[in-house]
Amino acid sequence: MEGTTILSLILFAVLMTGTPGPNNMMVTASGANFGYWRSVPHLLGISLGMASLLTVIAAGLGVIFERYPMMHDVLKVIGCSYLLYLAWKIATAVAVTDTQFQPDTNPMGILAAALFQYVNPKAWMMAATAISTFAVNGEQYWQSVLMIVVVFAVVSFFCVSLWAIMGVMIRRWLTSVKRSVRFNQVMGGLTAACVTMIW
């Protein structure tokens, strides 16, 4: 890849992974409720999930959606259903200032966050667009795919980290159970609202 193409790829990755979406809403809530370091597995899972999804699409799985458009609608239904479930979990999460904080409550882990990318229609759209736009045909195909995967993995981790840090900063204002509960409800509502962007 040429330097200008790589720069365009980086800017595209920043635009796609840095703008509001399901991942960013969830990591903001995670940062506020669990802090940055406990949210790192969630952040890593997003990056690894995107990297693996890009690889799978580059290997040809994306052709299935071209041949069977109905599969895209099925993915949307599954993804949106799971997203609404996660939105409900966020909205009803235990308040961060609650002294009765449940010890078994944990942020999303690496595997769950990685697998979520496979039912996240926005992730599929990002990955399919990235491969179709920036992958080079011919002998350099897999070399260009590797560059796309690396750029998205690094950029997505950086971008979702910023959203998680924003959540940590918001936590300073969550000085009461009432504020914490309201924050979780708002973040759950915003996560659910991502469904409208998907459709």
Task: Quick: pLDDT tens for 68-124.
Answer: 777 667 767 776 787 788 788 878 876 655 444 444 578 899 999 999 999 888 888
Overall pTM surpassing 0.85 (yes/no):
no
**Residue 180, token pair as written in the block:** 């914490």
Which one, of 195, 55, 45, 190, lies nearest residue 106 by Cα?
45
3-state secondary structure of 189: helix
**Residue 175, token pair as written in the block:** 């000085």
pLDDT at 186 over 90: no
pLDDT tens readout for residues 131-181: 888 888 888 889 999 999 999 999 999 999 999 999 999 888 876 777 778
pLDDT confidence of residue 43: 97
Which one, of 162, 172, 157, 167, lies nearest residue 187 by Cα?
167
CA distances from 150 to 6, 15, 23, 78, 113 (A): 11, 16, 19, 28, 18
Chain mean position to CA 41: 12
More confident residue, 94 or 189: 189
Sign of CA dihedral 199, 73, 48, 28: positive
Chain mean position to CA 149: 15
